[in-house]
């Protein structure tokens, strides 16, 4: 009985070593240098969390780091060893209002637009759930403005807004506009 058990352990260890050796042959060790670089896209500095590695005078940056700062979703499929990059839908970029963070959603029609100060005033469409706002609402830096036509969305600039647009607005706890949906 002891011989069979010992033989079983020996065969298991040998097979394990052969498997590990075969897997290790597909990989090779690389020596490189970690260095900080600025990465700029369209004159805007990107904030990558990982530092690139320099190897043979080439820069290697983790794919997930660069994809996420370029607004791509990264999916890793381990079984096929495949990376899939997919752009976020515009609605995924504009998260719903978070009432636990003090945000709220309002509807209305744009009545005044101050392009210099980037503020808007609206005539609210109120119901029994609405929170009433008064005066000009400033745009938060990086606010997302989407034009909705049927089931399609298109990102637009603040300068594309016009008086009379019917809008849904996500307002932060500091009464700034974080996002706006413009109905066409």
Q: What angle do CA 26, 31, 36 make, to 5 degrees?
A: 125
Residue 126: which domain range?
93-183
Residue 62 near residue 50, CB atoms below 8 Å:
yes
Q: Which helix (H) or strand (E) holds 145?
A: strand 137-149
Report yes or no on 156 lying in a domain.
Answer: yes
In this prediction, residue 36 has a pLDDT band, given cuts at 50, 70 and 90, of confident
Which residue among 88, 114, 131 closes a domain? 88
Gyration radius (Cα) of the chain, Å:
27
What value, to the nearest 5°, has the Cα angle with vertex 38 and ends 34 and 42?
145
Please check the confidence at residue 5 and state whether its pLDDT lies above 80: no
Asked which of 50, 71, 88 is the last residue of a domain, the reply is: 88
Tell me, what's the pLDDT at 30? 77
Last residue of a domain, one of 48, 63, 88: 88
Number of domains in the chain: 2
Of residues 147 and 36, more confidently modeled: 147
Statement: residue 116 has pLDDT above 80? yes
pLDDT of residue 13: 65
For 58-82, write each residue's pLDDT tens digit: 888 888 888 887 778 888 888 888 8
Q: How many CA atoms does the CB half-sphere of 65 hold within 13 Å?
A: 12
| pTM, 2 dp | 0.57
What lies within 8 Å, CB to CB, of 121 at 6+ separation is 110, 111, 112, 113, 135, 136, 137
- Provide the CA 171 distance to its chain's centre, in angstroms: 20
Q: Which pLDDT score is estimated for 145?
A: 92
At 182, the pLDDT band (50, 70, 90 cuts) reads very high
Angle, CA of 77, 41 and 94, to the nearest 5°: 65
Could you tell me if 50 and 110 lie in one domain?
A: no
The reply to whether 51 and 127 lie within a common domain is: no
pLDDT, one tens digit per residue, over 84-107 is 888 777 666 788 889 999 999 999
């Amino acid at each position: 009985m002891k011989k069979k058990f010992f033989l079983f352990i020996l065969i298991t260890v040998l097979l394990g070593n052969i498997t590990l050796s075969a897997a290790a042959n597909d990989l090779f060790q690389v020596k490189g240098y970690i260095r900080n670089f600025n990465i700029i896209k369209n004159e805007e500095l990107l904030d990558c969390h990982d530092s690139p590695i320099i190897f043979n005078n080439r820069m290697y940056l983790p794919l997930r780091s660069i994809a996420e700062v370029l607004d791509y979703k990264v999916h890793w499929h381990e079984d096929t060893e495949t990376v899939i990059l997919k752009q976020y839908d515009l609605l995924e970029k504009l998260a719903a209002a978070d009432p636990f963070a003090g945000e709220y959603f309002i509807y209305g029609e744009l009545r005044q637009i101050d392009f210099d100060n980037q503020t808007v005033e609206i005539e609210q469409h109120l119901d029994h759930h609405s929170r009433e706002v008064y005066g000009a609402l400033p745009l938060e830096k990086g606010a997302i403005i989407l034009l909705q036509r049927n089931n399609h969305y298109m990102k637009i600039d603040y300068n594309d807004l016009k008086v009379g647009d019917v809008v849904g607005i996500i307002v932060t706890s500091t009464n700034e506009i974080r996002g706006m949906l413009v109905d066409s």
